[in-house]
Structure 1
Amino acid sequence: MRIDKYFSLNEIALMSICGAMVFVMKIIFKIPVHIPGHSGIFWVIPLIVGVSIVKKPGAGIYIGLISGLLSSFFGIGALHLFDIFKFVGVGLATDVCSVLFAYRYDSIAVGVITGAVANIVKMVINYSLQLFVGVQPFFIIVGIGISSFTHIIFGGLGGLISVLIIRRLTRAGVIGEKEG
């Protein structure tokens, strides 16, 4: 099935904008707090909001692909070209959570879980890629401990903010249930 038959033009435009926003959030909110995963509070928002509006499997992967391509092209991470794998993995994790929870992003628990899972998947893929390019396993194992906790916390907070935004957009009538 072709992508233009599965997603409407409006959905493709929305997902592309959300993918670009994930990239922009990673660039703009580079706050030097030296806490691993802190940017997850920001970049999971456009990802979850986009997936919750489109409500189709593959939306997260598409958003992740766009943000991964932008990140790889502009080289914002230490792994440059491999950044695409991180963001596609994040999109896949978001899609899996969305399907498992039936796109119930009006629930705070679903938003927090999805945000935390997305941020932790990004961390796991990042460490896996570092192993692949030759970073010593000792340094990676040392970094995983506290890093996994902070990734879960910040990703969950980003998911919480996403749910609050989705609720406001729904109440305002900007987004809602699809008809037909």
Structure 2
Amino acid sequence: MTRFIGHVTDEPDAYRPSDAPRHNSVLVDLVAGLISHELDAEAALPPETRIRNLVLTIRSFILHNLHDPRLTPQTVAAAHHISSRHLHRLFQQEGVTVAALIRHRRLDKARRDLVDPALLDTPGQTIAARCGFTTSAHFSRAFRAAYGISPSEYRKAGLSTDSGRARQGRTCATPAR
């Protein structure tokens, strides 16, 4: 819950005013889930609240385990004591597959790490491995498919753009998909 609140408050530009009702609903569900868990009364929650809380828990689990190359929809389902089929149904309602979510989060983390000045001396394949990619070739293909540029080209462009924009007080833009 603190992560959700922190993300919403730390990155307000990432959201539109129209997102507020959804955020309010998620926050109410999280608080209700927390209270019901503490009172051992989770069965009293409405089904939609239990489902939203489960999806949020699963998303958090995925984010915390991106580094693990064995992170798959099957391992996510097993970790939450649900069937793979049920997991896929939950995320079908979200409009994304679990595998696509894992891939997107891994690529996004790698993209950010590639232009992080603190990681300038870290090789691209090391960043890829830290993000759960088992081979640099697979990482490179997935990165190019997602961003239209190789990881090394992105790093060069991002670092040169970053240094130029940093002097002007701006940050590097995300490549188009």
TM range (shorter): 0.3 to 0.5
Q: If the length of structure 2 is used for normalisation, what is the TM-score?
A: 0.32
Which has the greater radius of gyration? Answer: 2
